[in-house]
Amino acid sequence: MQRARNATSGGEHLLPVAHNERLHDAIVGMQFLSSDWETRVRMAETEPELARLRATLERAPIDQTVRASKAKLLLVAVDEPKVGSGPTELDGACPHHVRVYLFDAETSATLLRLRKFVDPTPLSDDARIPHAGGINACELALAVHAEIGAN
């Protein structure tokens, strides 16, 4: 569970895949590869202002941004709000829909569009709370696999 939390927060990669980058890193880092960033650096008039820009650049995920910008596929998974009352959304412990999309970045074609209802609530609180995220992920992975196999 800790590895999964770290991966979703950018602490480490969840999967040992050579070409797996977070969209967040691409978005955050893109500003540093633009002409606007170059203009900001050239317009800096004081040493403290230039030092702030340098510090900001040094924290930027530039390597991840460059790798992500070369992606051929974009995979998006979005949790929808919970359905009904019941457990909270903490760690995905509530019933809800998840939307999954797979896009071909080179052709702009949608390769997969799926909406799956996941519901770990039949489990006891002791089992559901620590394992809901994994259960939801497995349900979703099986649904994606079935959808891909059907096409």
Predicted confidence pLDDT, tens digits, the chain (151 residues): 455 455 555 555 444 455 677 788 888 899 998 899 999 999 999 999 999 999 999 999 888 888 888 888 888 888 888 776 665 555 557 788 889 999 998 899 999 999 988 887 777 777 767 777 777 788 888 888 888 876 6
The three-state secondary structure class of 96 is strand
When the pLDDT of each residue in the chain is averaged and rounded to a whole number, the result is 80
Is this structure's pTM higher than 0.75? no
Question: Which residues does 135 contact at the CB level (< 8 Å), separation at least 6?
Answer: 118, 120, 123, 128
Supply the DSSP symbol for 107. T
Q: What percent of the chain has pLDDT over 90?
A: 25
